[in-house]
Amino acid sequence: ILPLEIARLTRARYPVRIQLTSRLKMPPLKSGDVVQFRAILLPPPGPARPGGFSYARMAWFERIGASGFLVSPPELQPPRPQGILMRINAQIQKIRTSVTRRILEGAGKTTGAIAAALITGEKGALSPELRNIMRSAGLAHLLAISGLHMVLFGGAIFALSRALLALSARLTLRYPIKKWAAFIALLGALAYLVLSGASIATQRAFIMISIMFLAIILDRQALTMRNVALAALVILLMRPESLFNVSFQMSFAAVIALIAVYETGIFRIATARPGFGQMGMAVRFFLLFFLGNVLTSIIAGSATGPFAAYHFHRVALYGVLGNIAAVPLMGLLVMPAALIALIAMPFGLESIPLTIMGYGISLIVDIARQVSDLPGAVRLVADFHMLALPFMTAGGLWLCLWRRVWRFAGIIPVAAGLVLAPYGDKPDILIARDGKNLALRDAAGKLRVLDPRKDAYSVRKWLEADGDARTPREAANPENSPFSCDALACIAQIGSGKLMSYIRSPAALEEDCQRA
């Protein structure tokens, strides 16, 4: 929300943007509407634990100066004059809303929610259960428009454009139709960027694929480390904070690893002509598609796994299996159908491609359910040692960037990082930001929570970072609590043997300081 007026604040203190949540009944609103409401505004919260994700940091770069929730329904106000950029943005949002509505109507409830997330970037209809299933199967990346989707969408436009141009012998013999197709695909990727809401991850994906298509237009090889480095340089010049973003790290880890393996020539066995007629072509297709898909999933999963474990404290053990089964459906069925649906939508003919897209999505969801139901599908991972991820990253880059035999020396820092990873810091005491809750580590090395009802979000983050699958209530366990509390303070013994006092009233300060 862009604030126009805020009561009891001078204009100089207005935040540029505000992010609000609401559980109230909302009137139908559209982008560009002027509304009046009452809300409780707070500064964006910092990390729940030392070294954890900081929403305040992300909000600062997104120019979000306050967050909060509504306490009264918004009331529509008379429109006010808007600048040209605001009017353009309002029209784009109107188109996105219309496209999302037609997708939800044409593809069904569950599949339509995923289809909308893949086309317009609207994730509001995705249920928490579905998100958890996809996450447990290692397929959560399919729900967010990123490099994979941009490559599939832009690649489909490139292939379709080139095939259509090749139907004309005159054009094929006289003009560089490959370059024309790359330019058309570049425009299509730009349209997809705008339609999808232009999130930060999608912007990065667009920059990467734009450089690839520009390389084709300029008669340069598209898949090279130089192009990856150029894409990273452009992104970091535009948004330097991206370096510490998990999606940036995982995207470039996967791309660098895939190109490094591609440059070794392993994939050429699949593209070589066997020379056995139709049987040879069948063998070639099998190697190119299935073996390529397996290798791609293994390589990308291995490259991104350490970053996922570091940031999310969970590893989908069967993620490679899920990706081997689901990514081909996304590339061969879902995204091509999405492209055809968008082309057909202005003519009202999107129902058939949306049905096909929905069928492919339902297969992916079924795969996710099967994989997530496997025993031990998800393993929680505690905080890494501070040197573990830098070692693994440096070793991985050494392995990928060099071409000589000494590249394999990168295995040493990777192995060192893997050995160091389990030895992260485990604090004896964790205190909530507002000081109203805490957790301590008992003699068994487990976190024990004082009150599971207060700041449950922070407690969940503490447990995740500890590799602990318990709920806040299970971590509190009032029947066997280490805390001894009265109206003035709580006393507990830490696992190291020291006595800790949690002061609730200044009257207990002098007494407890003598023994804690």
Phi then psi dihedrals of residue 501, to 5 deg: -125, 130
Residue 452 and residue 411 share a domain: no
d(CA 149, CA 141) in angstroms, rounded, equals 10
87 belongs to a structural domain? no
One domain for residues 188 and 333: yes
Flag whether pLDDT at 50 surpasses 70: yes
Residues 352 and 240 grouped into a single domain: yes
For β-strands 75-76 and 429-431, DSSP reports them as unpaired
Q: Is the pLDDT of residue 185 over 90?
A: yes
Q: Are residues 352 and 410 in the same domain?
A: no
Whether residue 228 is found in the same domain as residue 307: yes
Say if residue 415 is in the same domain as residue 453: no
Residues 209, 351 within the same domain: yes
DSSP assignment of 82-147 equals: --HHHHHHHHHHHHHHHHHHHHHHHH-HHHHHHHHHHHT---TT--HHHHHHHHHTT-GGGGS-SH
Residue type (1 letter), 306: P
pLDDT per residue as tens digits for the range 412-437: 999 999 999 999 989 999 999 888 89
- Indicate the pairing of strand 75-76 with strand 35-36: antiparallel
User: Bridge partners of 126?
Assistant: none
pLDDT at 9: 82
Which pLDDT belongs to residue 90? 83
Helix, strand, coil percentages (3-state) for the chain, rounded to 5, are 60, 10, 30
Confidence of residue 204 (pLDDT cuts 50, 70, 90): confident
User: 380, 398, 414 — which closes off a domain?
Assistant: 380
Q: Which two tokens stand for residue 293?
A: 């898909």
Say if residues 365 and 133 touch (Cβ distance below 8 Å): yes
Residue 441 lies in a domain: yes
pLDDT at 287: 64
Least confident of 268-277, 342-351, 412-421: 268-277
Cα dihedral sign, 459-461-464-469: positive
Phi-psi region of 164 (alpha: psi -120 to 50; beta: other; left: phi over 0): alpha
The reported pLDDT for the residue numbered 407 is 93
In a domain, 465, yes or no: yes
Residues 305 and 417 placed together within one structural domain of the fold: no
- 254 in a structural domain: yes
For the chain, how many structural domains are there in total?
4
pLDDT at position 279: 60
Are 395 and 336 found together in one domain?
Answer: no
Per-residue pLDDT for 21 more than 80? yes
| Domain assignment of residue 4, yes or no | no
Q: Which helix (H) or strand (E) holds 289?
A: none
Would the CA dihedral through 162, 165, 169, 172 be positive or negative?
A: negative
Q: With 80 as the cut, is the pLDDT of residue 465 above it?
A: yes
Which pair of structure tokens corresponds to residue 286? 């099998």
Answer yes or no: do 268 and 215 share one domain.
yes
Residues spanned by the domain of 471: 429-513
- Between vectors from CA 17 to CA 35 and to CA 236, what angle results, nearest 5°? 150
Q: Same structural domain for residues 407 and 307? A: no
Residue 375 to residues 20, 138, 463, Cα–Cα distance (Å): 39, 14, 22
Look at residue 478 and tell me whether its pLDDT is greater than 90. no
On whether residue 486 sits in a domain, the answer given is: yes
- Average model confidence (pLDDT) across the chain: 88
Polymer length of the chain: 516
How far, in Å, are 118, 247, 324, 330, 390 from residue 137 at the CA level? 18, 18, 11, 15, 27
285 and 373 in a common domain: yes
- The domain boundary, picked from 380, 411, 439, lies at 380
pLDDT tens for each residue of 152-184: 899 999 999 999 999 999 999 999 999 999 999
Residue 90 placed within a domain: no
- Residue 15 lies inside a defined structural domain of this protein: yes
Q: Tell the residue number behind the tokens 């600048």, with chain if given.
A: 83
* pTM for this prediction: 0.85
Look at residue 357 and tell me whether its pLDDT is greater than 70.
Answer: yes
